[in-house]
Amino acid sequence: MPGATQDSTSGGAMRPRPRNAAPYRIALGLLCALAPAAVRAQEAAQSNEYFQMSLEELGDFRVTSVSKKEERLADAAASVYVITGDAIRRSGARSLPEALRLAPNLQVARIDAQRYAISARGFNSSTANKLLVMIDGRTVYTPLYSGVFWDAQATMLADIDRIEVVSGPGGTIWGTNAVNGVINIITRDAAKSGGALAQAGFGGDNSGVAARHGGALGDGHYRLYASADRWRHTESVNGDAVPDAWRRQQAGFRADWHGARGDVSLLGDLYRGTESQAGPGKTTISGASLLLRWDHPLDGGARLGMQTYLDHTGRDVPGAYGESLTTADAELRYTMTGAGGVETILGGGYRLASDHVRNSPLLAFLPARRKLHWANLYAQQQRELARGLRLIGGVRLESNDHTGLEWLPSVKLAWKSNAGHTLWATLARVVRAPSRLDTDLYSPAQPPFALAGGPGFKSELANKAELGWRGMAHASLSYSATLFHSRYHRLRSVALGANGAIVFDNQIAAAASGLEAWGSYQPAPGWTLDAGLLLQRQRLRGPVAVAPPGNDPRHQFSVASKWNLGAALELDVAARRVGALATPAVPAYTAVDASVGWRLSPALDLRLSAADLFHRRGHVEFRENGLVPAPAVRIQRTLTLALTARFP
C-alpha cells in the first residue's frame, strides 16, 4: 500500500505523508526474534521442490485445467503453461497479476496502482472479457462486464501450488467466456502447509505482511491465513500524482480430507479494501466466498466429482455506481474409462446470481436488480484411433438469460510419437455471452440518454483453429509451439441509436493469427534458462475507430535465468520486450527484473527484488481505449525487500 494519501487541505493534490511504520517494525522484530527457532524441514524443502525437478520430471507434472481431469503436462493436447509456486516465490511477485507475467502465453499490462489489463491472444483492455479466471475452480469473473476486477482477486502467494494458464478455446469444458483461454489458480493441499509461516515485505510502491498457520484436523489437515497490503499512488508521465493508492486486508482457510471414500476440500476467504480515486470519496471493495469440493472413486476406475460454492462481492464507487453481487454455483461431473481405453467425461451445472446495482445520476444499470441464471450440460470423449493417435471430441450446451441456448463444440486430434513428442490440432466454436454492461448500461440515469444499453445485443462468436507441438529435444531442452487462427463475429461496437443515443451493437468482425512458443534449457544442475515468444496480428472490420475492442502488441519476447549459486543463494534475472500499442499509442518498452534470495537459516529467508532496473523514470504499459481518453500512468522502478520465517 502507498504511503501517500489525499490531502483535503491542498485542493485534492496527492503528496507523500509519513507512514505509520509501527506494524511493520513489530512484524520485522518478531521475524528476527523467532527465526532461530526450529522449523519443519519438509516445509523448507517444498519451497524449492519444482526447481529441483529435471525437465523430464516437469513433463510428468499433472494438470487439470485442460479437460477437468488429471493428465500429464507432456500429454495435454493444448497450449498450457504452468507457473509453479516456486517460480512465483523466486520472482518476487507481490500480487496475482504480477505472478501472471511469468506466463509467456499471456498479455499482462499494468494500468495504474489498482488496475491491470490481462488477456490471452489479443483483445486486451481493462475490461477484457474473453478470458475465464478461476481460483481453486471458483469462477471470479463478474457478470457486470464479463471480465475480472483484478484488485479484488488475491490469495496468499506462498500457498499457491501452481497457476495453470491454458491459451486457446476452452468453451466445451468451461463454458462461455473461455474464448481465448483459461487461468486456474490452484492453492496447495492443506497437508502441505503445516506449521506456521510469516512474511513481511517493504518496497518503494508496496508494503505488506502475511501470516499462515496449518496443522492436523482429525483425519485431515487445515490452514488459516491473513494478509494486509498497501500500495502507493502512481504518477502520470508529467510527474503528477495519480489518486489511485489503495489498501487491502484478506483472511481465509482451507481444509482437506483424503480417504477411501474420496477427497473433500473446504475453502473460504473474505476481504476488504479501500481505493483512492479522482472523484468524491474512496472506492471500497469487499467480498467473501465458501467452496466445497468432493471427489469420490467408483468401481472400475470411474470417479464422481461435485463442487459447489457461494460467493459475495461488493463494490462502491462514489459518484459512479455501487454493486452487490451474490452467486451460488453447483456442478456435478462423472468420468469413466471404458473398453479400449475410451475416456468419457459427463457433467452439468447451474449458477444463480443476484445482482443489485446502486445507480448514480451519471451511470445506471436498468433494471437495477436482476437475477441471472446459467445452466449447462457437457460431454467429452477421448478414444485411441491408432497407436499414439487420439481423437478428442466434445460439446457443451449452455443457457443464459440474454441469448438463450448456446452450443460450444470442439474436436482435437493428438498424436504422440515414440520419442514422447506431442502434436495436436484443434477446431472449436466458442462464444462470449452478453454482460449487463452490453444490455443494461445507461447514461445519464434518466432520459434523454446519451448512452443506452443494447437490449438486442447478441453473443460474440469465434471459430478457432490451432496446431501445436510439444516435446523435448533432449533431457535438458524442452519446448512448446502453437500456431493459432481465429475468426470473430459480432464483436461489441458502438453505434448511433434511433434517439441519437450511443448504443452497444455487434458490428465488428475480426481475424487473428499468431504464434506462441516457449522453451526451457538446463545447461547445468541448478541453472535453468527460459524463453518465450508471442507474435500476433489482428485484422478488424467494422466501426472500430471510436472504441476498438482491444489494444495489443504485435509481439512480445521474454528471457529468464534462474540460478542456484549454492545451497543458500538464488539469483533470478528476467527481461521482457513488449511491442508498441496502437490505439491509444503506447511506445514499445523493455523491462529487466532481478531477484536475489538468501536462506539465512533453515527458518528465515531474505529476498531482494528489483523491477524495471534500467528505466530510471519508469515506463507506460497501457492506456485505456474507451470513449473518454485516460492519462498515461508511468510504472516506476521499484525495490522490494521481503522476509519469510517458518515455525514449527
CB count in 10 Å sphere of residue 178: 29
Measured CA to CA, the distance from residue 374 to residue 405 in angstroms comes to: 10
- Residues in CB range of 221: below 8 A, 6 or more apart: 189, 190, 191, 193, 194, 214, 215, 255, 256
pTM of the model: 0.91
Spatial distance between the Cα atoms of 302 and 210, rounded to a whole number of angstroms: 40
Task: Name the residue with cell 483483445.
Answer: 123
HSE (side-chain half, CA atoms, 13 Å) at 48: 19
CA-nearest of 239, 321, 205, 283 to 13 is 239
The continuous run of DSSP H or E covering 46 comes out as: helix 41-46
Q: Exposed (0-12), middle (13-18) or buried (19+): which is 559, by Cβ within 10 Å? A: middle
pLDDT at position 6: 36
Per-residue model confidence (pLDDT) at position 192? 93
* DSSP-derived secondary structure for 109-140: EE-SSS-EEEESSS--STT--S-EEEETTEE-
From residue 174, give the alpha-carbon distance in Å to each of 63, 376, 599.
Answer: 15, 10, 41
CA proximity to 152, closest of 242, 42, 36, 284 = 284
Q: Which amino acid is at 582?
A: A
User: CA 528, CA 520: separation in Å to the nearest integer?
Assistant: 7
Give yes or no for a contact between 453 and 438, defined as CB atoms under 8 angstroms apart. Answer: yes
**SS3 category, 159:** helix
**Residue given cell 452450443 in the structure block:** 407
Q: What is the CB neighbour count within 10 angstroms for residue 452? A: 21
Mean pLDDT by 10 residues, the chain (648 residues): 35 37 35 34 47 63 89 92 96 96 97 95 94 96 94 95 97 94 97 95 92 95 98 92 95 95 95 93 97 94 96 96 98 93 96 97 94 98 94 97 96 92 97 96 91 90 98 91 98 85 92 97 94 97 81 97 94 98 92 97 96 89 73 90 94
Grid coordinates 481505493 are at which residue? 275
- Reduced to 3 states (helix: H, G, I; strand: E, B; else coil), residue 100 is helix
| Closest among 364, 360, 350, 356 to 325, alpha carbons compared | 356
CA distance 422 to 75: 6
Task: Read off the C-alpha cell for 622.
Answer: 497501457
Calpha distance 385→392 (Å, rounded) = 10
Q: Judge contact between 148 and 133, C-beta under 8 A.
A: yes
Grid coordinates in use for 8? 483535503
C-alpha cell at 251: 483472511
Pick the closest to residue 171 from 402, 432, 503, 358 (CA basis). 432
Is 215 within 8 Å of 190 (Cβ atoms)? no
CA–CA dist 555, 535 (Å, integer): 5
Contact 123, 107 (CB under 8 A): no
Residue 568 CA to residue 606 CA, distance in Å, equals 10
Q: Which domains does the chain have, with CATH numbers?
A: 4-647 (2.40.170.20)
Identity of the amino acid at 36: P
Other Cβ atoms closer than 10 A to 271? 20
Give the ranges where 516-620 is alpha helix by DSSP (H): none
3-state secondary structure of 200: strand
Question: For 366, phi and psi rounded to 5 degrees?
Answer: -120, 120
When computed from its CA atoms, the radius of gyration of the chain, rounded to whole angstroms, is 24
